[in-house]
Amino acid sequence: MTVRSRAPGTPLRILQVAGAARAGGGEQVALRLHRAFLAHGHQAWLAVGSGADLPSEGLVSIPNRWAVGGWPRTVRRAQDWLLRFTEGRGQSRLDAVLEALVFPGVVWDLATGREDYTQPGTWLLPRTLPASPDVIQLHNLHARWLRREGFFDLRVLPGWSRRTPVVLTPHDPWLLTGHCAHPLGCPRWRIGCGRCPDLDIYPAVRRDATAANWQRKRRLFAESRLYLATPSRWLMSMFDEAGFPAVEKRVIPNGVESDVFTPGDRSAARRALGLDEQRPIVLIVANHLRTNPWKGYDWVREVAARLGADESLSVDIVCVGDEGPAEPAVNARVIFAGQVADVQRMASYYCAADVYLHASRADTFPLAVLEAMSSGLPVVATSVGGIPEQVEQGESGFLVRPGDVAAMAARVSELLRDAARARNMGARGRAIVERNFRFEIQVSAYLDWFAELREERVAAAASERRAGRSADRLDA
């Protein structure tokens, strides 16, 4: 990744917070921004619930609740000794007993469906930094996939935002709901949740306390002074509809490293990756595709079956981000390439493909779609969330209604059979990225805004000092 240096100025001190350093979606956005801020000469920290051991400057671990306070640490040490003595037998039962003993409030919250905010490590975070940040940027603040209790305490928002500008950068609507990261068409987030139709949607809860969760979030936001940046107009429209009380709102789209994700030699990329050089390849990029409720793997399988039923077309559907044995169809194979951490290798998968398929049930502004467009691939995607802000219908790809697997398969087949049109669409997508969605544009937008926020804070502090001196003179 190449990041152009900016004009010299006073370096900013930027603290970002995200669930993990090794993950997809919003976590990858946070890590890329963090590295770019450092490359521009700013003092930057990325605080994470997991992955702070990644070899990258400025990563800070947010301690989990077992690491904060003498009593939890003592109990955890005793637990480790017991597990060594019993060779790990009964660990799950022991975990439950000790959690009830040390954190009875947490156990009660989880049992009754209340979202768990008991994360004392969050409150300690500013003290662990070598200097006070000029701005704090918060990405997704739920991470039940990381640890069942999450990693962040929303109750710090009022205090933090009174001292330092806090920019929320959500990558889904979780802040607006009673528990779910995507409401999937459910309208109840607009009226206060309650009577939730699906408690199992991630992050799942055991009981329906969604109305109380919704109200608690609203109270915390009303007590805070927050700035809001969303990656898509679609997500911003949800916050606008909810009447989110932000001091200032900006839509700053995610960006892609267009110097890394570029059109390339398809045959060479396939040889390097061990892929068939003769069969057309449809690429899908999604972490944990088969188990992620948003990614539409059942639709992918139906598309594969429809493509495979066409005897005149043999195709490989290559899925990056999940592992497992290949799933053969009559003339189509679903191949799982596993997790790909190396960005150059990931770029090779895009170069190797003919068409990119994105079959999500819900998405905000997916990086994978931008990477595919930047690599010169035509895109077939569901018209959900912010994807219509990325893909121009009929120009850089095709948008289909979610669940319309017949249309998905037909559009993919159309592009595989018409190489000239596929190339033209891919070139159009590349031009769109170069104009609107380069990573440098995203970085500059945030750094310019953060500099403005720091200047406003400095000016406000100076004004308060002048007002205080005037009051002192009047008293005298």
Tens place of pLDDT for every residue, the chain, 476 residues?
444 444 447 899 999 999 988 777 778 999 999 999 999 999 999 999 888 888 889 999 998 888 888 888 888 788 777 777 777 776 777 777 887 888 888 889 989 999 989 899 999 998 889 999 999 999 999 976 555 557 899 999 999 999 999 999 999 999 999 999 999 999 999 999 999 999 999 999 999 999 999 999 999 999 999 999 999 999 999 999 999 999 999 999 999 999 999 999 999 999 999 999 999 999 999 988 998 889 999 999 999 999 998 888 899 999 999 998 888 777 899 999 999 989 999 999 999 999 999 999 999 999 999 999 999 999 999 999 999 999 999 999 999 999 999 999 999 999 999 999 999 999 999 999 999 999 999 999 999 999 999 999 988 878 777 766 665 555 65
The answer to whether residue 472 is domain-embedded is: no
Between the alpha carbon of residue 212 and those of residues 107, 204, 218, 360, the distances in Å are 17, 15, 10, 30
Radius of gyration of the chain, Cα coordinates, nearest whole angstrom: 24
217 and 277 fall within a common domain: no
Residue type at 415? L
243 and 291 fall within a common domain: no
162 and 301 fall within a common domain: no
The answer to whether residue 2 is domain-embedded is: no
The answer to whether residue 1 is domain-embedded is: no
The answer to whether residue 225 is domain-embedded is: yes
Which structural domain, as residue segments, surrounds residue 399?
A: 266-436
33 and 141 fall within a common domain: yes
The answer to whether residue 86 is domain-embedded is: yes
The answer to whether residue 473 is domain-embedded is: no
Domain count, the chain: 2
- Are 99 and 107 a contacting pair, CB within 8 Å? yes
226 and 351 fall within a common domain: no
User: What is the per-residue pLDDT for 281?
Assistant: 97
By residue count, the chain amounts to: 476
Give the DSSP letter of residue 118.
-
Burial class (CB in 10 A: 0-12, 13-18, 19+), 274: exposed
Planar angle of CA 379, 381, 382, nearest 5 degrees: 165
The answer to whether residue 3 is domain-embedded is: no
197 and 292 fall within a common domain: no
User: What is the per-residue pLDDT for 5?
Assistant: 43
pTM of the full predicted structure?
0.92
For residue 123, the tally of other CB atoms under 10 A from its CB is: 14
- The residue whose two tokens read 């700053």 is 252
CA distance 301 to 305: 6
Pull the structure tokens for residue 246: 């932000």
421 and 446 fall within a common domain: no
Residue type at 86? T
User: What is the per-residue pLDDT for 137?
Assistant: 98
CA distance 245 to 275: 51
335 and 275 fall within a common domain: yes
CA distance 325 to 58: 38
Pull the structure tokens for residue 233: 């107009």
292 and 403 fall within a common domain: yes
User: What is the per-residue pLDDT for 6?
Assistant: 45
User: What is the per-residue pLDDT for 359?
Assistant: 97
314 and 347 fall within a common domain: yes
The answer to whether residue 309 is domain-embedded is: yes
CATH number, domain at 187? 3.40.50.2000
346 and 385 fall within a common domain: yes
62 and 76 fall within a common domain: yes
